Structure 1
Amino acid sequence: MKFFRSLLAKYMLIILLALSIVQIAYFVLALFIMGVAKTEEGINKTRYGEDSNKNVIEEKWHAEANKIKAIELEVVEQLFENWRGKYPEASMFWIGEDGTLLKEVNVKEQLPSEWTPAYTTKFIKERYDGDPFTVIAFLGEDETNGFIVLEIPRLVLNPPLKNVYQQYGTFVFLGVICIIIFFVSISFLFFRGIRKRLLKLQDAMEIRDVDGIPIEMHVKKKDEIGQLELSFNRMVCELRESKNREQKEEQLRRELIANLSHDLRTPLTKVRAQTYSISKEELSDEGKHAVKALETSIVNIDGLIENLMSYTLLMASKYKFEPKETNIIRFVREHMTTWYLVFEKEGFEIDVELNSFEENKWLVDPLWLGRIFDNFFQNVLRHASSGQYIGVKTESTEHHDAFVISDCGKGMNNESNAKGAGIGLSIVDIMVKGMDLEWEITSSASGTIIKIKKQKGLSK
């Protein structure tokens, strides 16, 4: 049963149908031609007997013309009458010895009343092997008695099959053309249906619902394309189930991170308070160093928690984004001021050189941009403290304006006790791209250079 529902079975049925129609048509046509031919052959035999052969007709016409002894009008008329009864389509006429037209029977063309030798020669030449079939015979045994002419249309003397072909050949040709057109039309409709279903399947693959998942198709047939549509629907169902599971897992993950962040910050605050209390006590130098390391670890952990929360919100598109036109030079200068004392306390050499761009107004979210610079500055403190240098400068080229942050540390690939830079840079990447900016980082053993770029000619 599965095979009979397939496209292969349907197309084989079309082929067999076409071949059957052709064979049936040829069989019917052959019967028709044979029937008509036999009918005409029977009519000819009934009408002419065995005298439908041209050679026989010619011999008999000459023989009966030579038998006439008394050359009289009544005798010739009787001869014409006898032949007219046998061949109703025949025409006959008698030309006398002096070239005078003496008698004509069933002649449809206009014959001259006087026949000259030149006209007689012309007539014989035109009728030779032409249509109608023409026989000229002299009366009696003496050529001076004149001659009689018998003319019969060749259609009457043609074989029955030839007559049938001449009469019905056009219909046979048109019938063959119709059969070919019928088969081509059926094949066209068959393949057009397949093409429409495949295009519909393609459209279903490209159309997405609100969740970005293809829409299921309505399956009407159970052939190969129908099975493909069923498989497509199963795939869509699996994708939707997977999407739902992913959304549920994402929701659980966000809730877990939020709860963990809250749960971690509560004891972290207590640890920070206890550390502050301990720092007020009389401690040895080793104790003071341990307390300072503890405070640094607390700050790092707090930064990690903050980064984790920010990254989770950004990935869920829940982090608030409010872009507005900002004087970027003033913003970076003011933001750098908040970090100046921090770097100065750590003994950094600070090199700030902020020159105006051709266009100082950038369409950015100040909170996002501030978070980006905070991450970079924190990374410098964590990973490049050995270099004791930070530079913040502007750069303008033909293609872009940029802020360049550089340090003289041991590079991003160097082992460090401070962890979490990977999440921080991931946050930077998401935020930079979200504000239609670009960034690049170059790091080596002699330091790290970070650029935040805005291409020129782009809309704000």
Structure 2
Amino acid sequence: MTWRLGSRKVNKQQEQKSVKKKKLRFGRSLMSRYMFLILAAVLFVPVVLPIISIVYVVVVNSGYTKDAPYGDVNHISNLWSKEAIQLGESTSNEIDQRMKQLHNRYPKSSMYRVDERGDTVFMLVGEGVTLSEVSSGNVVMKTLRWTMDDEKTIVTQVPTMWDAASTLQFMKEATYRDPLTVVSFIEGGDQDKGKGFMVIEVPRYLMQKQQNNWPMELLYLGLFMGIIFLFFILMSILFFARIRKRLVRLQTAMMAPGKEGIPLPVDIRREDEIGHLEESFNDMVRQLTDSRQREREEEQLRKRLIAGLSHDLRTPLTVIRGHMHALHKEELSHTGNSSLLRMEAKMEDLGGLIDNMLSYNLLTSGKYTLKLAEKDMLRIVREAAAAWYPVWEKEQFDIDIDLPEEPLLWQVDEQGMRRILDNLFQNIVRYAATGKYIGITTEQIQGQTAILIHDHGPGMLEDIGTKGTGLGLSIVDLLVREMGLRKKVESSAEGVQIYLYSGAGAKGDKTHF
């Protein structure tokens, strides 16, 4: 009792320890790792976006800067506006000199200046540009003819005298045309008119192309999003692949039992949800191992107890039988003789019970030695029935034995077979006596000749008011199994039918033990 209480205390401490271990910190959980994975995928955007932008500018837009010696539109516009501001306090000659310097830098551009009165006073024609004058009534126009890179000719008409209408018309035409036309007013001089304005015209093929490259932008945007998506998918696959690998490893451990039919413990590699599951699995394995060990110890104790009781009970039983035999020599009354006969019957039952206990103990411990040999089963059945014939007659049984003359040869242990038949006959006398019938015959079942023992008792499903230990039938089942035989039981309100037949050739049949 002390050992049991100590064991329970240890088990209780282990359970409390297991409960404490089940508490999991969020930082070690699978959820925290997956959230970290999503966060990494989101934070990956600021890293990949600059890389994609650099690649886009260097690889895709680098082709636009080729053959663009004059820069882009913004460069020319900012340059011309800045020069106009700086020339606000300069004289006309200084303005013209500065324009010549700029023309030397951009020789293919055309430049001209309009003073504060609206007269075109200075003009520099670019390379490949022809200049001519055209008169239309009282208006004289200077015509610039541009031959573009694709051999297309563009005409720019510059009025010699500028008024509001011609200025508006010129501005309107110059907005989107080729060449690029930039007009900058020169501040200074008359506060209302200033010093006029200066104009530069640059062929657009000499500048960086300003194209609407939305297909490439969409392509690179899709590439960027694809990289983010693939990165997230790859990391998710790796994340769940590791989880699946650990679960498969645990499943394999569950399905691969050890020597005693109990799975082996698994190694705990991480302290997360699966790690706690592995720890619980290991606890279960330890509990099963301890339970199996206790079961073996209790089984050994039970076997020693039964063996000891069986041997210890035989001595007083032999003495009681001797005294009862001596009482038969004395003169007893009718009541005394009846009591003595009942005592003898109960002593016989007690002796049979002790024999069954000893046999069951030997069978379960594997110490019961069987001597299998080819025997005529019908001869053994006839001899066993003949030994029980007086008992059946005393109980007023209707005996029906119909066995063929031909021998029925089985590989059996004769002593064990007689024990089987004795136990079955004894059960019929004890529990089917109300039917007053026993029948022994042969039948064909599953291609085998079976010995059929049946009665007209209430059947195994009925409560007949008598209870036994069940050792008799347990011994029958053990002996049948050890000798490789088959047993089939059919029970109904009309009685019990027990079939015994050889296991040879009966492969795959479902036998009721």
State the TM-score bracket (shorter-chain normalisation): 0.5 to 0.7
Shift of 1:427: 2.7
Alignment of 1:442 onto 2:467: no
Residues 57-81 of structure 1, C-alpha deviation per residue, up to 9 Å, x if partnerless?
A: xxxxxxxxxxxxxxxxxxxxx9xx9
Q: CA RMSD in A?
A: 4.6
Q: Which amino acid aligns with 1:392?
A: I
State the distance in 2 between where 1:235 and 1:152 align: 86
Match for 1:3 among 26, 46, 59?
26
Distance 1:331 1:177, change over 3 A: same
Q: How far 1:374 sits from its partner (Å)? A: 0.8
Counterpart of 2:276 in 1: which secondary structure? helix
Q: 1:278 aligns to what? A: 327
Task: Give 1:185 shift.
Answer: 1.5
Provide closer, same or farther for how the CA distance between residues 30 and 289 of structure 1 changes in structure 2, counting only shifts above 3 A: same
Q: Distance in 2 between matches of 1:355 and 1:133?
A: 124
Question: Could you tell me which residue of structure 2 aligns to residue 22 of structure 1?
Answer: 45
Select the structure that is richer in helix. Answer: 1
Distance 1:354 1:13, change over 3 A: same
Return the match for 1:159 from 202, 210, 213.
Answer: 210
Match of 2:500 in 1: 452
How do residues 128-147 of structure 1 correspond to structure 2 at under 5 angstroms? 134-137=152-155
Contact 2:363 2:478 in 1 (8 A): yes
> Could you say which residue in structure 2 is the equivalent of 1:122?
none
Q: 3-state DSSP class of the match of 1:274?
A: helix
| Residue of structure 1 in register with 2:340 after alignment | 291
Q: Which residue of 2 is the match for residue 195 of structure 1?
A: 244
CA contact (8 A) 2:452 2:497 kept: yes
CA contact (8 A) 2:435 2:457 kept: yes
* Structure 1 residues 245 and 217: CA distance shift in structure 2, 3 A: same
Give, in whole Å, the separation in 1 of the partners of 2:28 and 2:356: 60
Aligned partners of 1:402 and 1:453 also within 8 Å: yes
Partners of 2:146 and 2:154 within 8 A in 1: no
1:423 is aligned to 471
1:370 is aligned to: 418
1:182 is displaced (CA, Å) by 2.3
The one-letter code of the counterpart of 1:257 is I
Residues 286-322 of structure 1 deviation map (CA, whole Å, 9 limit, x = unaligned): 2222221111111101111222233344444554456
- Relative to 1, partners in 2 of residues 1:176 and 1:290: Cα closer, same or farther, differing over 3 Å? same
- Tell whether the 8 Å contact from 1:134 to 1:152 is kept in structure 2 after alignment: no
Deviates more, 1:282-291 or 1:220-229: 282-291
Q: Which residue of 2 aligns with 1:301?
A: 350
Gaps of 5+ in 1: 53-77, 95-102, 108-131, 142-148
C-alpha distance in 2 between matches for 1:229 and 1:280: 76
Does residue 297 of structure 2 align to residue 248 of structure 1? yes
Normalising to structure 1: TM-score of the pair? 0.68
Contact 2:148 2:154 (C-alpha < 8 Å) held by counterparts: no
Q: When the two structures are aligned, how many residues end up with a matched partner?
A: 386
Pairing of 1:379-390 with structure 2 (within 5 A): 379-384=427-432, 389-390=437-438
The answer (yes or no) to whether the contact 2:487–2:501 under 8 Å persists in 1 is yes
- CA change 1:198–1:385 in 2 (3 A) is closer
Q: Which runs of 5+ in 2 are unaligned?
A: 1-23, 81-102, 112-125, 131-144, 160-177, 180-201, 509-513
Structure 2 counterpart of 1:43, one-letter code: G
In the TM superposition, residue 152 of structure 1 has moved relative to its aligned partner by: 6.8
For the residues of structure 1 that align with 2:345 and 2:208, how far apart are their CA atoms? Answer: 125
Compute the TM-score of the two structures, normalised by the length of structure 2.
0.62
1:240-291, CA deviations, whole angstroms, 9 ceiling, x for partnerless residues? 1222122211211111111111111110111011111111222233222222
2:285 maps to 1:236: yes
* Distance in 2, Cα, partners of 1:46 & 1:138: 22
The letter for the 2-side match of 1:183 is F
Secondary structure of 1:43's aligned partner: coil
Deviations 1:177-220 (A, max 9, x none): 33332222111111100000011111112221222222111111
SS in 2 for 1:301: helix
* Aligned counterparts of 1:210 and 1:346: Cα–Cα separation in 2: 52
User: Following the alignment from structure 1 to structure 2, what is the Cα–Cα distance between the partners of residues 223 and 300?
Assistant: 63
> 1:262 — aligned with what?
311
* Contact 2:373-2:413 within 8 A present in 1 as well: yes
Contact conserved, 1:3 with 1:9, CA < 8 A, in 2? yes
> For 1:218, which of 267, 274, 281 is the aligned residue?
267
Change (3 A) 1:275 1:441: farther
SS of the counterpart of 2:270?
A: coil
CA shift digits 1:25-67 (9 cap, x unpaired): 2255457768998996993147744799xxxxxxxxxxxxxxx
Distance 1:17 1:250 in 2: 60
Per-residue deviation, 1:365: 4.3
1:368 and 1:326 map into 2 onto residues whose CA distance is: 12
In 2, distance between residues paired with 1:230 and 1:18?
A: 32
- Tell me: CA distance 1:32–1:266, structure 2 relative to 1, closer, same or farther (3 Å): same
How far did residue 224 of structure 1 move?
Answer: 1.0
Q: Retained in 2: the 8 A contact 1:91–1:106?
A: no
Percentage of matched positions with identical amino acids: 36
Cα deviation for residue 339 of structure 1 reads 3.5
What CA distance in whole angstroms lies between the structure 1 residues aligned with 2:274 and 2:158? 89
